[in-house]
């Protein structure tokens, strides 16, 4: 590979495994880009891992790990939660479930991940004539996600975990991370992401009740605003009822919601969500 080479770092297991592989010279990437959608938006556990483990590890191995944010034309920083809760806003950039059960449109990945990373790449010389090589942390057990990723003109996506011989699965990534002396990171996503499984919401309700309460409050706030506009309610799960009641129903047998299998892996890949 030649030219600009970066990894789109999501803060989860797969992209952290790429960080370890880069540190040991097993893949040829020395720049990692983490698009932070906001300190009020990213899962606090992901941000804690970034500061406590990922950044120090990268610095120790002379890898550049840049934390990027969405910047408005006036120079101020916009967060995803801020856009969702802005007074008077009608925007719903996250993929909430509509009252008819269909997923809503999504602009969060494009605006707060793809465009943020793209701006950095183009500022540093990437173009359609000289695209940057962008490493994406998709493992063998999620190979179907490759087909969901649409490349931008200024980039050439590659998949180091799949190109590895043999290709690496998520469990292999966990072993690589542990062998490096690092703890396994949590799955990376916004704490209010509607793509979470109901069992995952139940775990949040049990282990992080204050954060779960914030998610319930956000859902309520969105629906109060929609009510004033004469619109149907929306939900953070596919069950068409308040999050608090969905998570409570799952508490009895956490993790056994068979119908939820796969909902965590919807295509946010362009911005390395969930990796």
- What is the C-alpha to C-alpha distance for residues 56 and 66, in angstroms, rounded to an integer? 12
Q: Return contacts of 60-65, CB within 8 angstroms, 24+ apart.
A: 60/23, 61/22, 61/23, 62/30, 63/19, 63/22, 63/23, 63/29, 63/30, 63/31, 63/32, 64/30, 64/31, 64/32, 65/9, 65/19, 65/32, 65/34
- What is the C-alpha to C-alpha distance for residues 55 and 75, in angstroms, rounded to an integer? 25
In a domain, 165, yes or no: yes
Predicted confidence band of residue 205 (pLDDT cuts 50, 70, 90): very high
In a domain, 49, yes or no: yes
146-200 residue pLDDT tens: 876 678 999 999 999 999 999 999 999 999 999 999 999 998 899 999 998 888 9
Predicted confidence band of residue 144 (pLDDT cuts 50, 70, 90): confident
Model pLDDT, residue 203: 93
Arithmetic mean of pLDDT, 233-246: 92
Model pLDDT, residue 36: 97
- What is the C-alpha to C-alpha distance for residues 209 and 57, in angstroms, rounded to an integer? 31
**For residue 256, is pLDDT > 70?**
no
Angle between helices 243-250 and 209-228 (to 10 degrees): 140
Model pLDDT, residue 101: 78
In a domain, 241, yes or no: no
**For residue 245, is pLDDT > 80?**
yes
Predicted confidence band of residue 272 (pLDDT cuts 50, 70, 90): low
In a domain, 86, yes or no: no
Predicted confidence band of residue 2 (pLDDT cuts 50, 70, 90): low
**Among 140-144, 202-206, 237-241, 259-263, the least confident range:** 259-263
List residues bridging with 156 in a β-sheet. 133
In a domain, 245, yes or no: no
User: Residue 181 sits in a domain of what CATH number?
Assistant: 3.40.50.620
**Among 102-111, 162-171, 191-200, 243-252, the least confident range:** 243-252
Arithmetic mean of pLDDT, 4-26: 97
- What is the C-alpha to C-alpha distance for residues 198 and 108, in angstroms, rounded to an integer? 21
Q: DSSP letter at 158?
A: E
Q: What percent of the chain has pLDDT over 90?
A: 75
Cβ contact 3:163 at 8 Å:
no
**For residue 6, is pLDDT > 90?**
yes
Domain that holds residue 71: 5-76+105-188+266-271
Helix, strand or coil, per DSSP, at residue 247:
helix
Cβ partners under 8 Å of residue 248, min gap 6: 202, 205
Residue 132: C-alpha distances to residues 25, 36, 128, 214 (Å): 20, 20, 9, 38
Instruction: Give the residue carrying structure tokens 């605006």.
Output: 111
Q: What is the Cα gyration radius of the chain?
A: 19
In a domain, 23, yes or no: yes
Cβ contact 231:92 at 8 Å:
no
Model pLDDT, residue 180: 98
In a domain, 61, yes or no: yes
Q: What mean pLDDT, rounded, does the chain reach?
A: 89
Predicted confidence band of residue 262 (pLDDT cuts 50, 70, 90): very low
Nearest Cα to Cα of residue 32 among 14, 49, 7, 13: 7
In a domain, 252, yes or no: no
Model pLDDT, residue 103: 83
50-83 residue pLDDT tens: 999 999 999 999 999 999 999 999 999 999 999 9
**Domain count along the chain:** 1
């Amino acid at each position: 590979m030649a030219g600009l080479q970066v990894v789109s770092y999501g803060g989860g297991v797969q992209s952290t495994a790429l960080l370890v592989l880069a540190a040991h010279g097993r893949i040829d990437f020395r720049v990692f880009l983490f698009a932070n959608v906001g300190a009020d938006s990213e899962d606090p556990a992901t941000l804690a891992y970034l500061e406590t483990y990922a950044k120090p590890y990268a610095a120790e191995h002379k890898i550049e790990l840049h934390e990027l944010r969405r910047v408005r034309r006036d120079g101020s920083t916009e967060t995803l939660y801020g856009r969702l809760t802005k007074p008077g806003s009608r925007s719903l950039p996250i993929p909430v479930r509509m009252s008819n059960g269909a997923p809503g449109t999504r602009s969060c990945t494009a605006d707060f991940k793809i465009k943020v990373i793209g701006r950095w790449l183009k500022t540093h010389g990437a173009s359609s004539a000289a695209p940057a090589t962008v490493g994406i942390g998709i493992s063998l057990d999620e190979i179907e996600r490759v087909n969901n990723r649409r490349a931008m003109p200024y980039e050439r996506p590659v998949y180091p975990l799949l190109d590895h011989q043999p290709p690496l699965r998520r469990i292999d990534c966990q072993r690589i991370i542990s062998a490096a002396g690092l703890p396994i990171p949590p799955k990376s996503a916004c704490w209010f992401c509607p793509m979470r499984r109901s069992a995952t919401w139940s775990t949040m309700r049990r282990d992080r009740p204050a954060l779960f309460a914030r998610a319930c409050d956000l859902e309520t706030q969105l629906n109060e605003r929609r009510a004033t506009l004469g619109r149907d309610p929306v939900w953070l799960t596919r069950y068409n009822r308040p999050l608090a009641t969905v998570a409570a129903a799952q508490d009895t047998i956490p993790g056994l919601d068979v119908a939820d299998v796969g909902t965590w892996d919807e295509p946010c890949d362009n911005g390395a969500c969930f990796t």
